[in-house]
Amino acid sequence: MDTASYVRWFRSACPYIHAHRGRTFVVNFGGEALLDPNFPNLIHDLALLHGLGIRLVLVPGLRPQIEARLQARGLKPRYAQGLRITDAAALDCIKEAAGQARVEIEALFSMGLADSPMAGVRIRVSSGNFVLAKPLGVRDGVDFEYTGEVRRIDRDGLLSQLELRNLVILLPLGYSPTGEVFNLCAEEVAVATAAALKADKLLILAEFPCRFASSTQHIPQLTCREAYQLLGENAFDEASARHVQAAVTAIEQGVSRVHVLDRHQDGALLLELFTRDGCATLISAQPFETLRPAKLEDIPGILELIVPLEQEGTLVKRTREKLETTIGDFWVIARDGLVIGCAALHVFPEAGMGELACLALHRDYRGQGRGRLLLEHIEKHAKNLQLTSLFVLTTRAAHWFLERGFHLATLDELPPERRQWINLKRNSKVLIKPL
């Protein structure tokens, strides 16, 4: 990367650095990640997040570690209804695996070699009896013994650790008031913890990217409602369905966003958290991208979008004051809080006409139907206001409008009050569409 690209990249990450500081993220990954030679890279990325002021709770799974221990003792893993049956011998294996995993993770967070990404970092890791559990009991005649489910998360205990700037590790074990230990599903612990903390994000580092059963296409984002509906249609592959179900549960319990990442992608966490489009599947309560009326707070974003177009002569120049007084006419497409498209409808009630103005899409998001979406939205709005036609003045996009039902017209056909302040030097084409 050359110096200019590096500086540009660093600056582009700034809004995310500010946005994430002080937020609480719960990160879940399977035991496979711990065995991966790249695991130290994941630890370095987590250390970086910690350094940027993000409050982290890590919830690792232990499935392969437990299987290996059972095998070493000549024991066969027992499953029923998709869940492990944990007998006393299996519980021993789980305790051993949990102890070893904790020590190994702590050791990695303690590294501070001068020329490593961990240089100069001091991260305190905390772990403890924050998860209270109860036995699953007997289900359909099967006694699950020491397999349990989360009963409660010690929210205050966890918060006090996070307040101290400690990074917390929660292993998939829970304790009962009778002093027993239960084996839990790590993803369930992560969901319950994220819900108890009302975490800003739950990040699931999955073994496979989130996929539909019928295609291998990347799923960039889903609202909770869409995810729920697709689960009902059995649209996801088996592993993805489990993660999406976890995401829906977490969001229903108050977690803002759940990201399902492919943990095999090096730096996936950083890409997802510090770039606009990320690389994971984001499941959120609110749509990630919305078309909504503009607010005064959107003005800097609208200006950022239209100033380059004004400079090249595509759009007519508007001052900030002009935008402030006409902001009620504007609609924006906001993507993850950033304005990526806008359009305005100025109404001329006496003529029964509306002017579609300032239609603009961010360069990176053109050609994907958003221009059409804004136009259709403005048309619908104009019809609701009983307007009979829509006009537009354009220097560069006449054909775009011609292909969408507009026809060329003359200045005389415009409302008289609009004609008065037309800049004839721009030599714009006039187009009209009857509604």
Q: Would you tell me which residues interact with ligand COA (CB under 6 A)?
A: 309, 314, 359-361, 366-372, 392, 394, 396-397, 399-400
Residue 32 Cβ vs ligand COA, minimum distance, rounded to whole Å: 41
Residue 293 Cβ vs ligand COA, minimum distance, rounded to whole Å: 19
Report which residue's Cβ sits closest to ligand COA.
371
Query: Strand pairing partners for 29?
Result: 60, 205
Closest to ligand COA by CB, 186 vs 344, is 344
Closest to ligand COA by CB, 19 vs 303, is 303
Pairwise CA distance, residues 175 & 225, whole Å = 34
Distance, first Cα to last Cα, the chain? 51
Residue in the structure block whose two tokens are 């806008």: 342
Pairwise CA distance, residues 220 & 287, whole Å = 12
Closest to ligand COA by CB, 359 vs 382, is 359
Residue 323 Cβ vs ligand COA, minimum distance, rounded to whole Å: 15
Closest to ligand COA by CB, 64 vs 287, is 287
Residue 90 Cβ vs ligand COA, minimum distance, rounded to whole Å: 56
Closest to ligand COA by CB, 196 vs 343, is 343
Residue 395 Cβ vs ligand COA, minimum distance, rounded to whole Å: 8
Q: Give the DSSP per-residue string, 242-278.
A: HHHHHHHHHHHTT-SEEEEEETTSTTHHHHHHHSSS-
CB 203 within 8 A of CB 279: no
Q: Give the DSSP per-residue string, 137-200.
A: -EETTEE-BTBEEEEEE-HHHHHHHHHTT-EEE--SEEE-TTS-EEE--HHHHHHHHHHHHT-S
- Token readout for 282 is 């984001």
CB 157 within 8 A of CB 148: no
Residue 322 Cβ vs ligand COA, minimum distance, rounded to whole Å: 16
Residue 402 Cβ vs ligand COA, minimum distance, rounded to whole Å: 8
Please report, as a single letter, which amino acid is at residue 279: C
Closest to ligand COA by CB, 181 vs 309, is 309
Other beta carbons less than 10 A from residue 200's beta carbon: 18
Handedness of CA 12, 18, 21, 27 (dihedral sign): negative
Cα–Cα separations (whole angstroms), residue 11 to 21, 258, 265, 271, 373: 16, 25, 23, 14, 31
Residue 344 Cβ vs ligand COA, minimum distance, rounded to whole Å: 9
Closest to ligand COA by CB, 182 vs 330, is 330
Closest to ligand COA by CB, 18 vs 399, is 399
Residue 302 Cβ vs ligand COA, minimum distance, rounded to whole Å: 12
Closest to ligand COA by CB, 60 vs 341, is 341
Pairwise CA distance, residues 402 & 106, whole Å = 64
